[in-house]
A and B are shown apart, each in its own frame.
Chain A
Amino acid sequence: MYGKVVGVAVTGVRGRPVVVEAHIGRGLPSLTLTGMPGAAISDARDRIRPAVERSGLEWPLRRVVVNLSPGSVRKEGPGLDLPLALGVLAASRQVPHERLGAFAVWGELSLQGDLVPTPGALSVAIAVAAAGLQGVIVPARNAVEAALVEELEVVGVASLSEAVGFLRGTFAPQAVEHNRSDTTADDLPAMPDLAEVRGQARARRALEIAAAGGHNLSMTGPPGAGKTMLARRLPTILPPLARDEALEVTQLHSVTGLLDGGGLVSRRPFRCPHHSVSMAGLLGGGGAGGFRPGEISLAHHGVLLLDEVTEFRRDALEGLRQPLEDGRVVIARLHGSVEFPARCTLVTTANPCPCGRSGVPGEICSCSPQSVSGYRTRLSGPLLDRIDIRLDVPRVSRHELLGHDRAESSARVRDRVLAARARQAARLHDTGVTCNAHLPGSVARRVASLSADAERLLAEAVDVFGLTGRGFDRSLRVARTIADLEDASEGVSAGHLAEALSLRGGKELRRAG
């Protein structure tokens, strides 16, 4: 007796259709799994029999062999529970074959036979649609997420018996509506707002530039200056997520299990890992349980804040270099490799020295010069080279705050950011990048179209500040963004460039020269 079901295995963020074949033959009662099952699927062996029996169905007391095909790929994830169970039920003629040919099935079973929410539903739905099937049967609580894929019939079922009922035609599940809306964040709980930041006019301006050009940003300043508070408000001035961006983010959050039942992620992610995070935690990793995206991928299309960046493990920080450049992380392990998108805005904060009092008026730094220079060399040059904007954030005194009115709100700043992004998009449409931060040096020089004054200023800065080639490109990119923020400005003027140069950072976090 033979049955065949299409299931889906999720590796990284990609779903892959898996044909689950079941054969029931003569012999002592047993269940054999073949076709490179991963750890979670081997678990399923013992899980599906109780689930079948408690759903009022019969487990064939004969020799059962289940094969997962293609056999060359290792299959991960608990989502193959339901296909395994239905495969056995199909082989034992307890469910008809008709609908099984048109629907993929996917979901994790409990011992009771209930379907529990399973991470990765969106990736599954995308894979099923790509495979050209009519629909997919998923746990009811994943249905909204799966329905983000429009051209697919999504059947949400709460248990194995409902799934069987649907296949037999005796149970009609509630129809799941497709969510076609572009994202709106209006009904979400309030985010922090830039208007709540008092003083720090320059830091606000730097945030605006970072948001407008997608530039990475480092903030150096004494404790209490407001670095973290400012960083948390960066997502509020970034443009809203486009639908395709939102789908990518949702997929990443879905496979990590961060989505609680809701559909599309409509807000730019903000990730702020603790500084004890491991390399695998930051970049993503693969182990016995499959591949998991790291914090940099969870921050995809959003903001990754490394608070107190000098406290992070050196190897984890160094690992950021390639992803920051490429916008993706490739994790290669013995049993395969996966790719996670990782196009985020990096924000780092650091103190000026270990004691944090260096440069604070009226306070004396208690650090030895050696420890200060050691502290500042913790970030390598190549990593710093990927940070376009380096801001010094002073601690603002009580006296200096007096007379400051309530500042501009995030919404107003975001309007300017959106306008600047639109100008960039118009200019960059044929270069393959979307914002100034990702411009390669050669292109940056071309699109900057410096005025003669600006050229002179740049030459002077190279002489006086010892600007390096990379520093030169960084300043050009930032200057381009500053020009984009200004209405209808084509070329980069000396003023734009001068402001960009002022964001190159005074005291570098590493040894100068």
Chain B
Amino acid sequence: MPGERRRVTDLPRGWPVGFGRGEDERPAVVVLAALRSVRPRRLREIAWQLGSAQSCLAAVRTGKVSGPADRGIANTVDGEELLDRVAACGARVALPGDEEFDPRLLDLADPPAVLFVQGRVLAPGTQRVAIVGSRRPTDTGCDVAESLGAALAAGGVWVASGAAQGIDRAAHRGALTAGGPTVAVLAEGIGARHGGWRGSLLRKVADCGSILSECAPGVPADRYRFPARNRIVAALASAVVVVEGAERSGSLITAGHAADLGRAVLAVPGSVVNPQSAATFALLDEGARPVRHARDVCEAADIPFDEAAIAARRAALRGGVDPIEARVLDAVGDGVLPEHVADGAGLTLPDTLACLLRLELRGLVRSDGGRFRRSLDASALEPR
């Protein structure tokens, strides 16, 4: 797998037994989560040396472990106050061993010491699939991520992703519109206020899913936090699907983590002329499984898939397509001009446009820039 090879450490799995357990430990762990430059791996090393969060914090306070900036934070930030801030933004603290702290995270060589959770309880044993990819995808890529998110949600699977624009956003949107919960993992501290589309997306996620971060409120999204966030996304999921990504995409890091953790890695094959297919082709080349529909993902990840729900969805779609619409659908490929659809279907242009609109309303066709293409749902109509 491409991506960084983790240094093999001889530390035991997870965190030392006493770490973060008990009332005195909680504020200390939260302060540790507010530090800027002590990365989780380093923290785990000193945790195994010193045993408790309080002694780790003391080491930071004396300057033994980190630099002066973190020393300042450790000396000025009050753990109890920080806990109040966490509660004020409606988040909960989940420590290793808590019910909400998914034990699958401990598969990581550098698991988070704490998770802050907003929204629904992150029940262990929930099946999740991560959908990740480019922040600047093509419209087809967005469509695929959205349809995949919707289909998985319809089958009762949670979708996990970051909160970036592009594929992340499309995957969340698809799952949410299908009424399914999603998990959004933030790179910055929990509770940050967002405006625009990200704000409205996160509000919806908090309403019917969960928002996670390993950082305390107020921690900015430093550069290294994004790949760090990706490891959590990978660890939480049973399978990682990469939809689109350029040559050195961050999705490859997520896929790399997933492979190291033994999660299924899948990639959506793209067009050979699309530079955003570079990452997915690289993954397919290394043995990732190709994705055509949600079922591929569930089979690869060995997730029980609600066939009945999908069958009902298909029946609803197929039942709504009359013979003329079927002809139009047959004439639509990827990025076809409406006059060519009309030629292919043998209809007039106005009738074709009206028909395309009805198909678009049902999510079988997408239009963009004056061209039309089939959605993933339309492909799912075909017998396999």
Contact = CB atoms under 8 A, between A and B. Distances in A.
A506 B369 contact: yes
A400 B368 contact: no
Interface in A467-513: 482, 494-499, 501-502, 506-507, 511
Interface stretch (A19-27, A50-58, A172-180, A391-399): A391-399
A498 B355 CA distance: 7
Contacts of B165: 369
Contacts of B350: 205, 482, 495, 499
B42 to A, nearest CB: 33
B370 interface: yes
Interface string A224-261: 00000000000000000000000000000000000000
Contacts, number: 87
Contacts of A501: 357
Interface in B331-384: 335, 337-340, 342, 349-351, 353-358, 360-361, 363, 367-371
Given A364-B275, A499-B350, A391 B357 contact: no
Interface in A300-349: none
Interface residues of B, number: 32
A362 interface: yes
A394 B135 contact: no
A361 interface: yes
B349 A506 contact: no
A201 B350 CA distance: 10
Contacts of B355: 498
Given A201-B349, A202-B338, A392 B354 contact: no
Interface in B62-104: none
A498 B337 contact: no
Nearest to B360: A502
Interface string A158-199: 000000000000000000000000000000000000000001
Interface of A: 199, 201-203, 205, 220-222, 352, 358-362, 364-365, 369, 391-394, 396, 400, 457, 460-461, 464-465, 482, 494-499, 501-502, 506-507, 511
Interface of B: 135-136, 139, 165-166, 196, 273, 275-276, 335, 337-340, 342, 349-351, 353-358, 360-361, 363, 367-371
Given A391-B370, A394-B369, A498-B357, 6 more contacts: A365-B136, A396-B337, A400-B337, A499-B357, A502-B356, A502-B360
28 contacts: A201-B337, A201-B339, A202-B338, A203-B370, A205-B350, A359-B368, A359-B369, A361-B371, A364-B275, A364-B276, A365-B136, A369-B135, A392-B367, A392-B370, A394-B369, A394-B371, A396-B337, A400-B337, A457-B358, A464-B363, A494-B354, A495-B350, A498-B354, A498-B355, A499-B353, A499-B354, A502-B353, A502-B360
**Would you list the 7 A-B pairs with minimal beta carbon distance, nearest first?**
A359-B369, A498-B354, A394-B370, A201-B339, A392-B370, A498-B357, A502-B357
